Amino acid sequence: MTSKALDNFLNENIADLKERGLYNEIDPVQGANGAKITINGKKLINLSSNNYLGLATDERLKEVAKQAVDSHGVGAGAVRTINGTLDLHIELEKKLAAFKGTEAAISFQSGFNCNMAAISAVMDKNDAILSDELNHASIIDGCRLSKAKIIRVNHSDMEDLRQKAKEAVESGQYNKIMVITDGVFSMDGDIANLPGIVEIAEEFDLITYVDDAHGSGVLGKGAGTVKHFGLQDKVDFQMGTLSKAIGVIGGYVAGKANLIDWLKVRSRPFLFSTAVSPADAVASTKAIELLMESTELNEKLWENGDYLKEGLKRLGFDIGNSETPITPCIIGDEKEAQKFSKRLYEEGVYAKSIVFPTVPRGTGRVRNMPTAAHTKEMLDEAIAVYEKVGKEMGII
């Protein structure tokens, strides 16, 4: 017999989420996650993927992944510290360090794992973390896990950051103080003010941590937000994922050799979770090599991003203040955002609604992510659908 208390809790809260337009329906994709996808047998233009450069379906990555399965098997077989570190993992980490312009790098099983691992390995209850209010959930959870004092900073507000850094330092309560930010904020597409953050960090001796999940492959001609601003030697932690622009799965932290050494002996997901598969490791390495060799995919991404932005803005949609190819269409009401997304789906465009708690209440939106794999014809078709549905619903 199962718990009645649990059943009551689950049924009541799921019904409440549905009533308020906050319940998320999961749509299984039949086949590859490319510029077009198939859901329930329906072909759709895909504007909801983080596959920024189209590498998730790239033939060159698929080929090396197949070879790795033949040479190394389908799994690493152990945690990294026993005998789960394969030569392929070492090669990936060397390539990551070269890509990010750092002394060393460490790879993890996911970007979320990186933030859970790296923050708590360095920060503890005697420390403080200055965290941007719009930071990703994995940063928030990593900060909580560390037990450090979390000091929330107004979004990209350098005056607020300086004041709170000054107060934290002058209080004398903390051994170490970290400032942590997304490089690119994934729901709005704006870029962190890294020069301002670094200037304040140097003034108050703050540890600097940049989560570049949505900046790597996108900014800095592909090398990321830190490279975009030329601050490789000023940022302590460069964290990123291998699942977005890189097109595979996993995450990494790049920085000085002593930091990476410490994370290898003290970050819990590295110590207690099996390493990524051989195919994933070698495919990620290949993707990074492609980005280091050519900026072609990066340039195509920006071209498509600018094209879609201009089209939606011309129609009168509120696309916020995005500085990257990420293009939100901000609707406001959560139920309206979900209804808008559903109508787009019916007309052949897959653009998922994003509502609280991913974004603040009252800022429900559809988040569009054009990729390097989209054609102009696909984007024109999507813009036409947006015009039809937007007028139908009275949004434009």
List active site positions. Answer: 186, 214, 244
Q: How many beta carbons lie within 10 A of that of residue 261, not counting itself?
A: 12
Token pair of 225, please?
A: 């937000």
User: What 3-state class would DSSP assign to 212?
Assistant: coil
Report DSSP state, residue 148.
P
Residue pointed to by tokens 């009168």: 316
Which tokens sit at 142? Answer: 């990593």
The Cα–Cα gap between 338 and 172 comes to 48
Cα 178–chain centre separation: 20
The residues near 383 (Cβ < 8 Å, ≥ 6 apart) are 308, 311, 312, 315
Instruction: Count CB atoms within 10 A of the CB of residue 310.
Output: 13
Give the bridge partners for 39, in sequence order: 42
Please report where in the chains the tokens 């197949």 appear, as a residue. Answer: 66
| 132 token code pair | 């941007």
Kindly state the tokens that stand for 77: 């077989």
In 3D, which of 285, 338, 385 has the Cα closest to residue 46?
A: 385
DSSP codes joined into one string, 215-269: TTTTSGGGT-HHHHTT-TTT-SEEEEESSSTT-SS-EEEEE-HHHHHHHHHH-HH
